[in-house]
Amino acid sequence: MSAKDKDQEPGTFMIQACRCRRCGGLLTSKESVRNGIGHVCRMKALREMPDPNQVTVFDVLGDKEENTHEK
């Protein structure tokens, strides 16, 4: 078998891969493997992050509960 034939021969290779922590999809890009999340899920997660200045219902209820215990 010549060297040229060896280059055209199908072979086995290994790549580093893992599963996305958000959707479970297979990640193969270096950046996604390093982050543990795919680029689409990363963008969705960033859009879903709450505004740090936003008041939540838990903030409001927590204030009311504190006031009722003081009386």
Note down the domain range covering 62: 9-70
CA nearest to 27, candidates 45, 11, 40, 46: 40
Does some domain include residue 17? Answer: yes
Specify the number of domains making up the chain: 1
Does some domain include residue 28? Answer: yes
Does some domain include residue 62? Answer: yes
Q: What's the Cα-to-Cα distance from 50 to each of 4, 21, 53, rounded to whole Å?
A: 58, 20, 8
Does some domain include residue 65? Answer: yes
Instruction: Specify the pLDDT at position 7.
Output: 64
Cα separation, 34 vs 42, in Å, equals: 12
DSSP state of 49: S
Does some domain include residue 1? Answer: no
Does some domain include residue 3? Answer: no
pLDDT at residue 67 tops 60: no
**pTM attached to this predicted model:** 0.56
In which band, very low, low, confident or very high, does the pLDDT at 11 lie, cut at 50, 70 and 90? confident
Specify the higher pLDDT residue, 25 or 57: 25
Does some domain include residue 13? Answer: yes
5 sits in which H/E element: helix 3-8
